[in-house]
Amino acid sequence: MKDNRRDFIKKGASLATALSLGAVGASASAVKPETTKTLPAKKVAWPVVEGPDTPKMTMNISPTDVSSKLKAIKQFGCDYVHMSGPRLPWTVENIQPIVDKFKAAELTIINMMVGFSGSIIHGTEGRDAEIKLVQDALVVAGKVGIPVVEYNFYAHRLTEGYYSVPGRGGSSYLGFDYNRVNPTTGIAPKDLPPTEKEPAMTRDQLWANITYFLKAVIPVAEKAGVVMALHPNDPPPPISRGSEQIMGSFADWKKMLAIVDSPSNGMTFDCGVSTELGEDAVEVLKYMAARKRINHVHYRNVLLDTPRMKYVEVFIDNGQVNMFAIMQELVKHNYKYGIFAEHPRGNAIDKERGGDFISYLYNQAYARAMLQACLTLEQGYKG
């Protein structure tokens, strides 16, 4: 990386013009007093340069949100947002106004999640029509300049295994335990049956269906200039209401990335889920980044008891994931898409105020600090 430092700074200098996916304004401000020659930083001028090839802080927001959250996101150092897109079909006519609305608030949509019907996952009637809608959505994303489309491929998301664990200062952590008998229902998550809406799927069926899907959509994504990000199975136990999970192990992630060999066929790298699997999150990151397959990042922390089976999601600063190491590797690999500091913990202020924005704010500020620390080092600062 050190070889790239000068190149990096050079790029940074012309970042405003070079950046196709939006303005980098977190370090910019309406107030720009000239700094004098007594710069306190040694070698690396602050605020540290961010550019086309550095990670982008992003926060989640609804396309229709008109609350103060919109302004707060910008104020608290995020120039990017991501969101669940509207229901399919997407058209330029219904997506462009969303892009424009956020642009007016100086926010760029870095990722729009697409939801599709069970026919694609289950390989049932209507699949091809639904795939056509996804293909059209990718074309629209490309036209309106949204660089990433994120999606899930669960037969069933086993949220039934989550429970609340008392955390720091009376906060609440999110525990997952595959074998814990729910005190209300008397059933452990591992014993839950399939439902009519979400029938049991085998690995073979799911692999066949995701392969069919990827071969249909990735070429369209490539042509549209859009990259796709598959979110891993979270929680990641091997079986979820009778369905085998194909996105709950590193081996399976590798297999998925190999189905279509294209940067458009990527994933959401989640350092939390990677750790929940018992993997070294830095190794997972390096594998994916080397192949240019990280198209979105979830930046969060966890304490693991038993891989895939039992863990607790904690505050970002008190889990076992080395958050500095994660950010440093992302920066070293010139990762340029969104970093979302997600799964924040319940706290006294949100409890009073309603919602969960203050907890997201804590994570966002923490992640931004890590980003600036890593950029400072990568740009050559030596203390």
Partner 1 sequence: MSNNRRDFIKKGGSLAAALSIGAVGASASALKGTAPVPAQKVPWPVEEGPDTPKMTMNVGHNDMSSKVRAIKQFGADYVHMDAPALPWTQAQIQAIVDRFKAEGLSIINHRIILPPSILHNMAGRDEDIKKVQDAIRITGKVGIPVIEYNFYSHRLREGYYNSVGRGNSRYLSFDYNRKMPNPADNNWNEPRDRRPDEMQFAASELKATEAEPATSEEQFWENITYFLKAIIPVAEESGVKMALHPNDPPPPLSRGSAQPMGSFAGWKKLLAIVDSPANGMTFDCGVSTEIGENAIDVLHYMAARNRINHMHFRNVKVETPRIKYTETYPDAGQVNMFAVMQELVRAKYKYGVFAEHPPGNIIDKERGGDFIGYIYNQAYARGVLQSVLTLEQGYKG
**Contact between 340 and partner 1 (CB under 8 A)?**
no
**What is the spatial distance between Cα 336 and Cα 321, in angstroms, rounded to a whole number?**
21
The type of residue at 331 is V
Q: What is the 3-state secondary structure (H, E, C) of the chain?
A: CHHHHHHHHHHHHCHHHHCCCCCCCCCCCCCCCCCCCCCCCCCCCCCCCCCCCCCEEEEECCCCCCCCHHHHHHHCCCCEEEEECCCCCCCHHHHHHHHHHHHHCCCEEEEEECCCCHHHHHCCCCHHHHHHHHHHHHHHHHHHCCCEEEECCCCCCCHHHEEEEECHHHCEEEEEECCCCCCCCCCCHHHCCCCCCCCCCCHHHHHHHHHHHHHHHHHHHHHHCCEEEECCCCCCCCEECCEECCCCCHHHHHHHHHHCCCCCEEEEEEHHHHHHCCCCHHHHHHHHHHCCCEEEEECCCEEEEECCCEEEECCCCCCCCCHHHHHHHHHHCCCCCEEECCCCCECHHHHHHCCCHHHHHHHHHHHHHHHHHHHHHHCCCCC
Per CB under 8 A, the segment of 2-10, 36-44, 146-154, 227-235 that binds partner 1 is 36-44
Closest CA to 244 of 209, 210, 205: 205
Piece of 153-161, 191-199, 202-210, 373-381 that binds partner 1 (CB under 8 A): 373-381
Among 282, 292, 356, 380, binds partner 1 (CB under 8 A): 282
Stretch that binds partner 1, among 8-16, 197-205, 231-239, 313-321 (CB under 8 A): 313-321
Q: Which of 6, 87, 168, 215 binds partner 1 (CB under 8 A)?
A: 168
Binds partner 1 (CB under 8 A): choice among 232, 321, 339, 343: 321
Q: Does 323 bind partner 1 (CB under 8 A)?
A: yes
Q: Which of 88, 200, 239, 373 binds partner 1 (CB under 8 A)?
A: 373
By CB under 8 A, tell whether 179 contacts partner 1: no
Give me the least distance between CB of 113 and partner 1, in Å please: 24
* Residue number with CB closer to partner 1 (30 or 125): 30
Closest to partner 1 by CB, 222 vs 234, is 234
Of the listed pieces 134-142, 231-239, 241-249, 355-363, which binds partner 1 according to CB under 8 A? 355-363
CB closer to partner 1 out of 291 and 368: 368
Q: Is 27 in the site for partner 1 (CB under 8 A)?
A: yes
Binding segment for partner 1 (CB under 8 A), chosen from 89-97, 237-245, 261-269, 371-379, is 371-379
Nearer to partner 1, 22 or 77 (CB): 77
Does 309 participate in binding partner 1 (rule CB under 8 A)? no
Q: Which is nearer to partner 1, 30 or 251 (CB)?
A: 30
d(CA 255, CA 274): 15
The strand pairing partners of 346, in sequence order, are: 172
Quote the DSSP letter at residue 268: E
Closest by Cα among 136, 71, 58 to 101: 71
Interaction residues for partner 1, span 186-215 (CB under 8 A): none
Question: What residues between 94 and 133 interact with partner 1 by CB under 8 A?
Answer: 105-106
Q: Of 113-121, 201-209, 218-226, 320-328, which segment contacts partner 1 by CB under 8 A?
A: 320-328
Rounded Cα distance, 170 and 309, in Å:
25
Of 7-15, 87-95, 127-135, 354-362, which part binds partner 1 (CB under 8 A)? 354-362
Q: Does 250 bind partner 1 (CB under 8 A)?
A: no
- With CB under 8 A as the contact rule, the residue among 88, 188, 200, 365 that binds partner 1 is 365
Q: Rounded to the nearest whole angstrom, what is the least distance from the CB of residue 184 to partner 1 in the complex? A: 23
Q: Which of residues 39-98 bind partner 1 (CB under 8 A)?
A: 39-42, 44-48, 68, 71-77
Which of 247, 323 has the CB closer to partner 1? 323
